[in-house]
């Protein structure tokens, strides 16, 4: 059943020739809004930023909201926007199913929904709909934490479907797999960083359990290459909830992968490992699962160690096996600069690091790792959604669905806007910005915020 959408009332103005001439002259004075898609979990630049402008300075659940679409269930997946389509991975809590959804970007009207699988979750911390979909403008691919992956065209026709767990073994995770897929260079890339032995009955038996990268043809779903990614990590530290990130530099195209106690760069065409740096875990502690994805900017690539441990910056263009001392800088001398869950943002030439355990946001120089400012995050709720940068602001959202905007120049808190419901918790979808609109996903609604 399609869900109703709340729309603002529409007023139809009457135009005269004189008024049209006046409007035309005034439009010459209005800054142009940069319209871009948000086709990947971390946006058009793969770092949480976009060049979008013309966003509203303030809003509420009723003010400057173009539409609000109710959702059938919660999910940590980020909305994906291309042209006039919004794509969402979702749960359906009433029917205990997993859904692929498409909405009209202009109105929020549901265009289609497809049931992908039965059963929503296996642990209390998350559900199978945490992976964000990805699109190349022709097709959209969904992936779920139970291994189901399916491609649709924009009209909702299924193009192909696979089950990674049926083919390569059930994911060997203590919690729930949540890596978002990547479309890059005509290749669809999946990343599975898992344990090498079953855990709590999860993981195949009778055959080796390997961590791997898998590239397939997005048009057909057929394999292009599969690359095993070894690791010296043990137990839960082998589990990576990170996503692969593309990187261009030093005359080559790479795929960046972080997890299993190390950071690696892979040839995008073949999956072959080009370089490896590590480790932030020399004692091989066994419970250091990794959540933040890699992020590149200013000539370095960041790897965030978990559990209040430091962040490490590795110079781009590396080759071979690197030592721990080869890091360009670390934040070992400033424990405010750490991130256990959120992936840092690169925006306006700097990194913005959201410390979810210490409740801090920092602007950091990519050349030195030194903070330009550090501010506390407002409110009592935890922040796990990754920060977004656009239109001269930083956008955050916490578990309660409170959206916070921050001035990147000095860290001033500009707005704290409640968008969640009274009892909302674990709201973890990152804010997406596209075509002059802000897309805010709470546990119960998708809000489209725009200038009136």
Model pLDDT, residue 27: 36
Dmax (CA) of the chain: 79
Q: ∠120-126-129 over CA atoms, to 5°?
A: 50
Model pLDDT, residue 250: 82
Per-residue pLDDT band for 123 (boundaries 50, 70, 90) equals confident
Write down all domains in the chain, each with its CATH number in brackets. Answer: 34-449 (2.130.10.10)
Three-class SS state of 18:
helix
pLDDT per residue as tens digits for the range 187-210:
999 999 999 999 998 999 889 999
pLDDT per residue as tens digits for the range 335-357:
999 999 999 999 999 999 999 99
Task: Output the pTM of the full model.
Answer: 0.92
pLDDT per residue as tens digits for the range 39-53:
999 999 999 999 999
Model pLDDT, residue 25: 38
Model pLDDT, residue 20: 41
Model pLDDT, residue 5: 53
Model pLDDT, residue 126: 85
pLDDT per residue as tens digits for the range 66-78:
999 999 999 999 9
pLDDT per residue as tens digits for the range 380-398:
999 999 999 999 999 999 9
The pLDDT mean for the chain works out to 92
């Amino acid at each position: 059943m399609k869900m109703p959408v709340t729309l603002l009332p529409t007023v139809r103005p009457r135009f005269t020739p004189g008024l049209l001439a006046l409007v035309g002259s005034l439009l010459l004075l209005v800054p142009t809004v940069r319209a871009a898609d948000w086709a990947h979990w971390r946006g058009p630049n793969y770092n949480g930023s976009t060049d979008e402008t013309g966003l509203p300075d303030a809003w509420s659940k009723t003010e400057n909201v173009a539409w609000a679409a109710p959702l059938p269930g919660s999910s940590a997946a980020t909305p994906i926007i291309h042209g006039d389509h919004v794509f969402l991975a979702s749960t359906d809590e009433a029917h205990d199913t997993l859904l692929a959804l498409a909405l009209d970007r202009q109105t929020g009207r549901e265009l289609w929904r497809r049931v992908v699988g039965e059963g929503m979750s296996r642990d209390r911390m998350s559900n199978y709909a945490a992976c964000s979909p990805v699109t190349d403008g022709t097709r959209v691919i969904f992936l779920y934490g139970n291994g189901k992956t399916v491609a649709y065209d924009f009209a909702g026709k299924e193009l192909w479907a696979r089950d990674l767990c049926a083919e390569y073994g059930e994911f060997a995770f203590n919690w729930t797999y949540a890596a978002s897929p990547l479309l890059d260079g005509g290749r669809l890339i999946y990343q599975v960083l898992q344990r090498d032995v079953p855990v709590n009955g999860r993981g195949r038996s009778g055959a080796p359990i390997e961590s791997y990268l898998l590239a397939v043809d997005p048009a057909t779903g057929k394999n292009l290459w599969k690359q095993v990614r070894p690791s010296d990590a043990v137990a839960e530290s082998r589990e990576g909830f990170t996503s692969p990130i593309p990187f261009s530099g030093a005359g080559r195209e790479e795929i960046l992968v972080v997890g299993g106690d190390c950071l690696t760069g892979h040839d995008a065409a073949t999956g072959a490992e080009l370089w490896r740096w590590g480790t932030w875990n020399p004692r091989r502690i066994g419970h250091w699962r990794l959540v933040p994805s890699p992020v590149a900017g200013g000539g370095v690539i960041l790897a965030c160690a978990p559990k209040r441990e430091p962040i490490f910056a590795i110079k781009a263009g590396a080759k071979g096996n690197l030592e721990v001392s080869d890091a360009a800088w670390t934040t070992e001398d400033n424990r405010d600069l750490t991130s256990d869950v959120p992936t840092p943002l690169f925006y306006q030439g700097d990194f913005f690091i959201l410390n979810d355990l210490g409740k801090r946001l920092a602007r950091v120089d990519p050349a030195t790792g030194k903070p330009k400012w550090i501010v506390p995050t407002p409110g009592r709720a935890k922040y796990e959604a990754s920060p977004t940068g656009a239109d001269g602001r930083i956008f955050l959202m916490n578990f309660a669905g409170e959206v916070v905007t921050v001035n990147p120049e000095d860290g001033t808190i500009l707005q704290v806007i409640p968008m969640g419901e009274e009892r909302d918790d674990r709201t973890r979808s990152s804010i997406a910005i596209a075509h002059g609109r802000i897309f805010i996903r709470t546990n119960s609604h998708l809000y489209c915020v725009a200038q009136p």
